[in-house]
């Protein structure tokens, strides 16, 4: 059994309440989910990935990703882009005025993002990556970077890239233990995260392959990282944040979901609320016995009242 050193962590001028972070996940880490993760003990949560180019053109769907309120403890936006000038302009823009932290996406492996010179493609261009970090720092905000251990299996360089980020002014770096070619599968290269941690003095957060408290403990013990970032498992079991941090939570899953629905409906339209709640409920029912029979009905729900009824059937007898 591994001992997990859960503690507050300083990032730039900010003191986060815990070193357990929730990853930015497209389609999921909207304002309501971030508030849920914070309630359960997460020290930092990020918006879904926001394109700097889309922001530049005031894209409505992108603006919706930036919904927040003063109730959110720490506000962190993840920004995607490959043009240093555009990234700097958006970092300084009124669109991001409410946010405390700008996290630069240098890890997305998706082909269309990679081909456009964004996401993990920036790891191949240290000069441009550094220019983007320096430009975003001129916003006066805390700037963090999320990257991978490398591009291909025979070309891993997490420590080298971590030094590039630190030298350019990054306040923290999160390293996904898989290379770009691995996408989201395979065992993370924990030794690469350990090398990066030894190479820099800024906080290093370890990400990838964390699907239990045991996984989190193993990752921290092996890498010596300053904290861990939970991704997909945070959707399947949001209680992981309470389990890791020891924050008491006696609310059953149905209560959490009901509160999520109410908060989502307060800030988004019904179409978005239905889509988001169906996806979240589907994730949370994954390992619950006897719930598969309700999945089709869950996705057929045409209004919030109907969805509420189905969720009650799925989660009523499964309190945790």
Give catalytic residues, as residue numbers. Answer: 108
Helical ranges in 8-65 per DSSP H: 31-39, 52-56, 60-65
For residue 207, the number of C-alpha atoms closer than 13 Å in the C-beta half-sphere is 25
Contact (CB, 8 A) for 207 and 23: yes
Helical ranges in the chain per DSSP H: 31-39, 52-56, 60-65, 84-91, 111-115, 126-137, 158-168, 190-199, 213-223, 233-236, 240-245, 253-267, 270-284, 295-300, 304-315
Instruction: Give 249's contacts (C-beta < 8 A, 6+ positions apart).
Output: 39, 40, 41, 239, 242
Q: What token pair was written down for 94?
A: 């009124």
- Name the DSSP class of 273: H
């Amino acid at each position: 059994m591994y001992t997990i050193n859960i503690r507050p962590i300083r990032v730039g001028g900010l003191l986060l309440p815990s070193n357990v972070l929730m990853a930015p996940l497209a389609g999921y880490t909207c304002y309501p989910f971030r508030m849920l993760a914070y309630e359960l003990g997460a020290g930092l949560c990020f918006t879904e990935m926001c394109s700097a180019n889309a922001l530049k053109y005031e894209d409505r769907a992108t603006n919706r990703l930036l919904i927040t309120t003063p109730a959110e403890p720490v506000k962190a936006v993840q920004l995607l882009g490959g043009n240093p000038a555009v990234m700097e302009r958006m970092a300084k823009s009124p669109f991001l005025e409410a946010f405390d932290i700008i996290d630069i996406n240098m890890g997305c492996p998706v082909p269309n993002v990679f081909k456009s010179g964004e996401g993990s493609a920036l790891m191949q261009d240290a000069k441009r990556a550094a220019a983007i970090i320096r430009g975003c720092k001129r916003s006066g905000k805390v700037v963090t970077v999320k990257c991978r251990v490398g591009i291909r299996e025979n070309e891993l360089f997490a420590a080298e890239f971590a030094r590039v980020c630190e030298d350019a002014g990054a306040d923290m770096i999160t390293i996904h233990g898989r290379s770009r070619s691995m996408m989201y599968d395979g065992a993370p290269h924990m030794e690469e995260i350990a090398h990066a941690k030894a190479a820099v003095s800024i906080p290093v957060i370890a990400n990838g392959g964390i699907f239990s408290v045991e996984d989190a403990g193993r990752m921290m013990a092996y890498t010596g990282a300053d904290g861990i970032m939970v991704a997909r498992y945070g959707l399947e079991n949001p209680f992981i944040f309470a389990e890791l941090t020891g924050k008491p939570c006696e609310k059953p899953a149905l209560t959490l979901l009901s509160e999520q629905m109410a908060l989502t409906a307060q800030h988004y339209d019904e179409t978005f609320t239905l889509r988001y709640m169906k996806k979240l409920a589907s994730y949370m029912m994954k390992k619950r016995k006897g719930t598969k029979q309700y999945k089709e009905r869950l996705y057929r729900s045409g209004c919030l009242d109907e969805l509420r009824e189905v969720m009650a059937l799925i989660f009523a007898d499964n309190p945790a």
